[in-house]
Amino acid sequence: MTKKFLLIATVLLVHTAAARAQQSSPVPDGTADAFPPAYAPPPGYRAPAPAPAPPPSAQPYYGPGPTYGAPPAYGAPPAYGAPAYGPPPGRYPPPNYYYRYPPPPPRQVTDRPFTLGGGVGFGGLSWRDQFGNSNGDGGMAYTFRLGFGLHPGLILMYDIEGSLINRNAGTISQTAHLAALQIFATQRLFLKGGFGGAEVVQYDTVSKWGGAAMGGIGYELIQGWNWSFDVEATVTGARYTSNGVNETWTNWSLVNFAINFF
Percent of the chain with pLDDT over 70: 70
Percent of the chain with pLDDT over 90: 48
E strands, 15-133, where? 114-129
> Among 163, 128, 186, which Cα is nearest to 253's?
163
Residue 140 or residue 202, greater confidence: 140
pLDDT score of 32: 43
What does pLDDT average to over the chain?
81
Structural domains of the chain, ranges and CATH numbers in brackets: 114-261 (2.40.160.20)
Distance between CA 12 and CA 17 in Å, rounded? 9
Q: How many CB atoms lie within 10 A of CB 121?
A: 19
Residue 67 or residue 4, greater confidence: 67
**Lowest mean pLDDT across 16-20, 113-117, 241-245:** 16-20
Which pLDDT tens digit goes with each residue over 50-84?
777 666 655 566 667 677 777 777 777 777 766 66
Distance between CA 27 and CA 23 in Å, rounded? 10
Q: Does the structure show a pLDDT above 70 at 39?
A: no
Distance between CA 234 and CA 215 in Å, rounded? 6
Residue 175 or residue 11, greater confidence: 175
Secondary structure element (H or E) that encloses residue 194, with its range: strand 189-202
**Lowest mean pLDDT across 99-113, 117-131, 195-209:** 99-113
Secondary structure element (H or E) that encloses residue 238, with its range: strand 227-242
Distance between CA 117 and CA 147 in Å, rounded? 9
Tell me the average pLDDT across 237-251: 90
**Lowest mean pLDDT across 43-52, 82-91, 104-113, 152-161:** 82-91
pLDDT score of 131: 86
pLDDT score of 23: 52
